[in-house]
Amino acid sequence: MTDSIYKIIQITQDKEVMAEESNKNNMTAHLNKINTYKNNLIISNNSINNNNSINNNNDIIDNDHVTNDKISNHNSLNEDQLIQQTLSLTKKTNKSKLTDSKQFKQNDQYNNKHNCHMYQFDKEDMSNDNIEIITDKIRDKWNKKMDFLLSIIGFAVDLANVWRFPYLCYKNGGGAFLIPYGLMLIFGGIPLFYMELALGQFIRKGAITSWGRVCPLLKGVGYSVVLVAFYTDWFYNMIIAWSLYYFGASFTFNLPWMSCNNAWNTENCIDFHLTKNDSVFQWKNFSLRNNSSIMGNITFPVEEFFSNQVLGRTKDTNVENPGKIQWQILLCFVAVMVICYFSLWKGIHTSGKVVWFTALFPYVVLIIFLFRGITLPGSTNGIYHYIWPNIAKLKSAEPWVDAATQVFFSLGPGFGVLMAYASYNEFHNNVYRDALVVASINSLTSLLSGFVVFTLLGYMAYRRNVLVLDVIKDDPVLVFSVYPEALSTLPGSTFLSICFFLMLLTLGLDSSFGGSEAVITALSDEYPLLANHRELFVLGLFTFYIGIGALESTQGGIYWFHLFERTCVEYPILLAVLCETVCIAWIYGKMKYKLLYRKYKINFYLFIIGVDRFRQNIKQMLGFQPGIFWKICWKFIAPLFILFNITYGLSNYQPLQLGDYTYPLWANILGGIFSGSAILTIPIVAIIQILRTEGTFSERIKKLIKPDECMEPNEYLIEDKPIINRKMPISLSDTFDSTKSSSYLKKVQSTNSIPNCYKVVRNV
């Protein structure tokens, strides 16, 4: 078998092109069925295998007895002639026949979702026993490029852009805060954002499978980020449910949070009225004027609506005594899950349509509110507090930590969402441009939201005759208390409230889509059984979320919400992304990279490792290599950026507390279990991988830090520019000596260089 070769024929076909070719050659009617099969045809330049197993709907064309001598001078033929000659031979073959293929169960639905790959191991052996036919599921792709961009923008731009960034800007020196924010964005946030998008697009799999291929030892990183996304959905969807409830409550002439004449209001509730010269609080039948002792006890109707009507909080409810379920909130939560289900159950083709509204509508509302806000009294004072720089604030560490935290959690690396969404891109999509565009839009949206927020805060401070400091708050209560009050005092308050809470609803849904899709894609890619039953899998996932939502819909649900928010995400995601950057920058395995071959015909090899290998992967996709700036960021700055967040967070750790309520010890331990479960998956999976691998300990480690062979770039595409938008089938196969392992076949990629692994089960 020393003279034998491996000959790889991958069958792909473009419907329109092959239809035109068949008409030119007057193909027989039964061959016209081939036009419906959507794979590429790769014909060997050295010999054409006439055992063409062409899978067409439920059929395979069998040409076992066509010999090689019927084809002459094929090496000198161009691609078009090769295709015509091959199809002509198929037509002339007397023994061409259509047979059912029970082996591959290739029905119409199967053919529409799979590629067929033929492997011939022995050049001289034309029997079917020497042929391997392997099917590989075709991965879904975005219908339009904008579907992907809007999905990523919708995920990155969320509720935190509306309420947290403006607060941090005000807290940390106004316009001066943009200095640490910009530096953290450029040197930390964007490089991590770009890294995950590029990795997801290159491997075209979810987080678990991707990290298992990059570094099998760190496959647990994939499980960790999936758990983080899973936990995030536990509390994030509740914010969307609150938004939906407010949205429904806005369809009334008199908004329910405008007065104290409701069943849920207390004796401390006041209606606020403002005259031109003074502020007067109408509290029952008393008129109170600048009485600080009483001011400390009063509440406003908008605050009581959120606390008493929406949350249903009482003095006795807490994490230990959750109380009764607020059924109106639970129903809203179920409605949110129904929206998410029907947006995701069919994959990106359904969610890609929904985001055209959910991602764009918030900008319409923000622009309307900005122009309306700047006309309000007190708005300029609010804007002044927002942008006036206080450089002295930058001397402390807090602004830098807040900037790093905001950048990191706003762009969202480490949730698995970026990898999941990018995995559905075209292989040669310019992900570099996408990363810069989305990161820029995200930051500009935060700035725009700040102007909108502080025009309203300045207006509220003017109405209450207090400082801006007295009306701004650093939590979601700002969204559900201050904004509704401001809007309720304006003409057309009902319409403005409907628009505002619909904006919050769409902002939340986009991010929820991303988190859920990260979980679904990662598990479906790793466990094909789930992919084959996606609708049921998604249904089960959202049914579980409803169970968690029922707990958070109780009168003490806000305490569980705060527990999940504080403990489930922050440290696990930081540690997971730290492992990602260290892996890509320092561990990502050795690659033999051929240089100077095309131009000088010299086989010169360079062995590269880590971030340099990753840069070559990006070059394979984009045709150009990321510069030294990205190398330095990925290798040094990004890990330090994350360590900075982790160190400062641990040094300032405080036990859980919400308002005046201090959580019991068991609640802190439970939060630690949630956080630890996402962190410990990394070492646990690493130990399992080591135990499953053969050899000594050092040999096992060497094997497990080596990337999967499907990560090897296609040398044809490294040596020359990548093949982009090729519609005609091309002759791009190669021959390999039989002395090489059959696993070497994995290195041969399809014409669009998608690095899928095709397992060959027979060795020579």
Binding-site positions for Na(+) read 154, 156-157, 161, 410, 442, 507, 510-511
Distance CA 346, CA 625 (A): 35
- Tokens encoding 749: 């990629």
Strand-pairing partners, residue 115, are 136
- CB neighbour list of residue 625: distance below 8 Å, 6 or more residues apart: 615, 616, 618, 619
Distance CA 412, CA 409 (A): 5
Distance CA 135, CA 747 (A): 17
Distance CA 762, CA 764 (A): 7
Q: What are phi and psi of 269, to 5 degrees?
A: -75, 140
- Tokens encoding 144: 């339009």
Strand-pairing partners, residue 272, are 281
- Would you call 88 helix, strand, or coil by DSSP? helix
CB atoms within 10 A of CB 283: 17
DSSP 69-101: GGS-SGGGS-HHHHHHHHHHHHHH-TT-EEEE-
**Could you tell me which residues are annotated as the binding site?**
154, 156-157, 161, 410, 442, 507, 510-511
Strand-pairing partners, residue 8, are 119
Closest CA relative to residue 421, chosen from 673, 152, 158 = 152
Distance CA 433, CA 535 (A): 33
- Tokens encoding 140: 């879904």
Distance CA 753, CA 746 (A): 12
Distance CA 406, CA 478 (A): 17
Question: By the 8 A CB rule, do 591 and 609 touch?
Answer: yes
Distance CA 685, CA 579 (A): 14
What DSSP designation does 477 have? H
- CB neighbour list of residue 458: distance below 8 Å, 6 or more residues apart: 376, 378, 379, 380, 381, 382, 383, 384, 385, 468
